[in-house]
Chain A
Amino acid sequence: MKKLSVDIIVIGAGPGGMAAALKANEMGIKNILLVDRLPEPGGILQQCIHNGFGLQKFHKDLTGPEYADMYIKQLKNSNIQVLLQAMAIEITHNNRVILSNKADGLIEVGAKAIVLAMGCRERTRQQVSIPGTRPSGIFTAGVAQRFMNIEGYLPGKEVVVVGSGDIGLIMARRMTLEGAKVHAVTELLPYPGGLTRNIVQCLNDYDIPLYLRHNVIEIFGKDRVTGVKIADFGEEGNPPRKTFEVSCDTLLFSVGLIPENELSRMIPLMMNPLTGGPFIDDTFMTSKPGVFICGNAAFVNDLADYVSLEGEIAGVSAAKFALGNYQNDPRIPTVAGQNVRFVTPNFISRNDSATLYIRVKSPITDVRITSSKNIVHIVKKIVKPSEMIEIKLDKEMLKKIKALPASPSGGKEFRIDVGQE
């Protein structure tokens, strides 16, 4: 087996991995290996040809490929080694990464620090258990996006979208512009899963109906999808108050994303069931010293911009670790309080600045976000599960968090609550 030794290996060359590698390089680390299974860097950005990227990070309205290009150009001008069409298939308990590619077969990479940036996967029809036949014409929204935007195939002409995640909304518009008819977007919840701007610009602009509290409950067709049965669950929930059938030849699923963490489980890292990613601290280190993670592999983000920012933090931390001057004590756990589905990172250790991200359980208006000892106090008009909330912690706040008294149960904790004014 071919053996390599590097300072830092970054697994995944999407917006998180590229930002991590570049930041670590900027910190003076020369020997960095950035690995991706695709034939080019950029990850899923390359198929996201729509605009709306970079508004936070670059204050520009970029398309996915343009956003990726900002980093790819920097990679070309750096001494980072980029290894493409190579799959990381294992990480051993002593932090050695096994890669597989065509030219070398297996490669064993020893690294002082590892950054995991594998991104996430789409949930499929199987994971939302929709009964019916198993014809062709059923895709996840992201697979349909790749077929259209990179391979150049229109997946179908008469479309129903199950779920109102952002990729489903983007694809409803994309297919409409290419001549397909999108008959319906269904969403089981009473509110949409995607961003408001996508509801307006992808559905309303094209008069595509969004059916809230509705779900596809049966799929018809032998060789190809011929239609679906949609149930209206109303406010009462199950059983549905009525059902109706829609003819279609294509069904897209946009029913959520799952952080991709097979490698993390092999190490094994301690996993957070609420995010689907590993437990992390605010330097983006996992439960295993020297193993860092960023972006959608850690938890599903709304924007690529956030992913890159996290990649930068993970890159800085991995660089410090490789240089032997990484410190992260003491670690104060963060706790999701009232109305909070999750808060991440799970531990606060930094003293300079840190950012917490929270997702709420349901939409709430006239909101007050508070924390232990009122260190955080934010008033907002509205919060929604589809829009992650950023909480920036400065030096003073971090000092107060570190000085929190121990809770009755023993340890210290920093709790975030979301309540109504």
Chain B
Amino acid sequence: MSDKNNLPAGRQTDRKFTCIMCPLGCTVTVKSDDSGNILEIIGSSCMKGEKYIRDEFSAPKRVLTSTVAIEGAKFDRLPVRTSDFVPKDKLFDLMKEIQKIKAKAPIKIGDIILKNILGLNVDILATRDLSL
């Protein structure tokens, strides 16, 4: 979640993050300028954490998991995942695409259900075998 300071515009912005690299859960503040350059990272207690915070600030990424409709299987839903990390701000666009998919059994774990979704160079993969 972002947390904006009441500084005059055109100066700098503070954003707070919780580091998840270890159980410590450091609260880290990133100070940045108007063009998004990091000025200072405060509160991080290790290099690994600092790298995570840098990535979270500039280009946060997640693995997206969901289910798609499937025909001819013992269940109506097939669990799927993205083959790699995707930009966090694309999650809801990806969900819209995933909701349109209709898979057909039999499916094997790791099968590509949709190639190169939204041109992100990431595929949607089945995460289990599913047949009748």
Contacts and interface: CB of A to CB of B under 8 A. Distances in A.
Chain A partners chain B: yes
Interface of A: 39, 46, 49-51, 61, 63, 65-66, 68-69, 148-152, 177-178, 196-197, 199-201, 204-205, 207, 381-384, 387
B24 A177 contact: no
B18 to A, nearest CB: 5
Nearest to A209: B1
Contacts of B29: none
A200 B67 CA distance: 22
Sorted nearest first, the 5 A-B pairs with minimum C-beta distance are A65-B128, A49-B79, A196-B25, A197-B20, A152-B77
Interface residues of B, number: 28
Contacts of A63: 65, 79, 81, 127
A384 B23 contact: yes
Contacts of A196: 18, 20, 23, 25
Given A151-B75, A152-B77, A178-B95, 19 more contacts: A39-B74, A49-B67, A51-B65, A61-B63, A63-B81, A65-B127, A65-B128, A66-B128, A69-B128, A149-B77, A152-B75, A152-B76, A177-B66, A178-B66, A196-B23, A197-B20, A200-B18, A381-B45, A387-B23
B81 A199 contact: no
B55 interface: no
Which of B20, B23, B63 gathers most chain A CB within 10 Å?
Answer: B23
B69 interface: yes
Interface of B: 1, 18, 20, 23-25, 45, 62-67, 69, 74-77, 79, 81, 88, 91-92, 95, 109, 127-129
Contact of A65 (B45, B64, B79): B79
Contacts of A205: 62, 88
Given A196-B20, A200-B18, A200-B20, A149 B67 contact: yes
Nearest to B62: A201
A66 B79 CA distance: 10
Nearest to A205: B88
